Amino acid sequence: LHSFPTRRSSDLDTPQEFRDSIICDHFFVGHEDEARGIDDSRVSLLVYDCATTFRYAPTTRTKSSEGTTLALMEVLGDTVPKFAYSDNAHEIKIAIQQLAPSGRPAAHSTRTPHRPQTMGLGERIIEIVTERTKMILKASGLPHSFWTLATRHWCTSYNAMTPIKAKSVHDV
C-alpha cells in the first residue's frame, strides 16, 4: 500500500494568539479602472488572521508602501505579527518591515510570483470577500462606487458572526 506523505508543520498551521500569523494581499472589486470607491480608494488590502479567521480589508488610494503601511496599522495597531505571509509585493514587504521594531522583525514568507496556487488560502479568501461584496451591492441596489463600504460591512459582519476559537473564557 502507498502511504501519503505527512504534511509539514509550519507557522500557519498552529498560530496560538490573535495576530500571531497573518496573510496579506491586495485586491480590487471589479476592474482596476472602475474600482474607485466613494472615498476615492482604488485598492483594498486583505488581512487575514490564521488563529481566529478574523478578516478585514481596509482600503487605500494606491498600492504604495505608505498606503499599505497605514492599512496594516488600521488592522494591527502597534502589534507586530510573529509571521506574515503574502504575495511577493514590494509594498507589503516594506510595510511589514516598517511595523516591526528594529530589534525583532516579523518572519515574512512570500509566494512564487504569477502562481496563485502558492497562496491558495489568501486567494480563496479574496474570492469570498469580492463575491460577498458584489452580492451586498446587488442586493442593496447601491452603485459600484460603494464597494469600499460593502467590503468593510461584510468583513465586520463575518467577524461578528464567527465564534472565536479560544480554549476558555479567559483566553478571549
- By C-alpha distance, which of 4, 151, 25 is closest to 88? 25
| Residue-wise pLDDT tens digits, 33-91 | 666 777 778 888 889 888 888 889 998 888 888 888 888 888 888 777 888 888 778 88
Query: Rounded to 5 degrees, what angle do the CA atoms 140, 143, 147 make?
Result: 85
Which pLDDT does position 114 carry in this prediction?
Answer: 60
Q: Distance between CA atoms of 146 and 154, rounded to whole angstroms? A: 12
More confident residue, 136 or 97: 136
Q: Which is nearest to 111 in space by CA: 120, 103, 119?
A: 119
The three-state secondary structure class of 63 is coil
Task: Give CA torsion, residues 169, 72, 159, 79, to 10 deg.
Answer: 0
Please determine, for residue 12, whether its predicted confidence score (pLDDT) is greater than 50.
Answer: no
